Amino acid sequence: MADIATPTTPASEPDTTAAVALGTEPDIHGMEPTPGAHDDHGDAHGGGEHGHATSTGLSNNKLAMWMFLGSECLLFGGLISTYMLYRGRHEGSPSPSQLYNIPLTSVSSFVLLMSSLTMVLAVSAAQRHDDRNTTTWLTVTALLGATFVGAQVFEFTEFYHEGLGFTTNLFGSSFFTLTGFHGVHVTVGIIMLMALVGMINRGKIPGNKAEVVEMIGLYWHFVDIVWIIIFTLVYLIPS
């Protein structure tokens, strides 16, 4: 429900109904796909009562989010290709197959994969307007994400001690850039999840709560599917 018109007059009673009856303005303002996307109506009524249909009947936020994710495909595509091109160029450091700790990475990949499950349960709870379960699952998701990032930090330090620095060679630069960039995405996701939990707890999400949770969920799953690719292409397939 990107398109709920919020009355600018203090009393909301006449306006909400009038706006529907007129129904003539398509949608003046959408919300932004940020954690605090807003709009002034609680989601308790599913927002349906003030609906102004968009041309497609779809939410602005969701369209925007999917386009953003489509565009991110090219971003990660570029980084992955750079890594693929350079992974064999590891002069002066151990080779990828000597460095990678497959059991550790398998576990952390599994953790990230399961965080997708908890995220989807959070979205599902949010759609049932079940705040308590929503925040619980969001917190679990953030914790799993943090575990993943922790494992990555541990992995990076290990590699550094074994002689692979960011500037050592092409393999090092492209490996740390790709996985680090992904790690930053996860970290941003964790911050958004925590902020979301805080905002739900304090009732600070004025907009359609379920949709905000869903948006962050989409982002989180995307980060997960990028890792699915990285895990196979970078770790499991030796150079």
Q: Within positions 143 to 182, which residues make up the interface with another protein, using CB under 8 A? A: 166-170, 172-174, 177
Nearest CB to another protein, comparing residues 84 and 146: 84
Q: Is 129 left (phi over 0), alpha (psi -120 to 50) or beta?
A: left
When binding is defined by CB under 8 A, the residue of 93, 108, 119, 185 that contacts another protein is 119
> Is 54 near another protein (CB under 8 A)?
yes
Tell me the closest approach of the beta carbon of residue 108 to another protein, in angstroms: 11
Stretch that binds another protein, among 126-134, 140-148, 149-157 (CB under 8 A): 126-134
| Residues within window 83-112 making contact with another protein, judged by CB under 8 A | 84-86, 88-89, 91, 102, 106, 109-110
As to burial, measured by CB atoms within 10 angstroms (0-12 exposed, 13-18 middle, 19+ buried), residue 138 is buried
DSSP state at residue 204: -
Can you list the alpha helix ranges (DSSP code H) found in 23-101?
A: 60-86, 96-99
Q: Is 6 left (phi over 0), alpha (psi -120 to 50) or beta?
A: beta
| Residues within window 175-214 making contact with another protein, judged by CB under 8 A | 177, 195, 199, 201-204, 206-208, 210-211
When binding is defined by CB under 8 A, the residue of 25, 132, 153, 162 that contacts another protein is 25
When binding is defined by CB under 8 A, the residue of 78, 150, 157, 184 that contacts another protein is 78
Q: Hey, how many other C-beta atoms are within 10 angstroms of the C-beta on 28?
A: 9
How many CA atoms does the CB half-sphere of 141 hold within 13 Å? 34
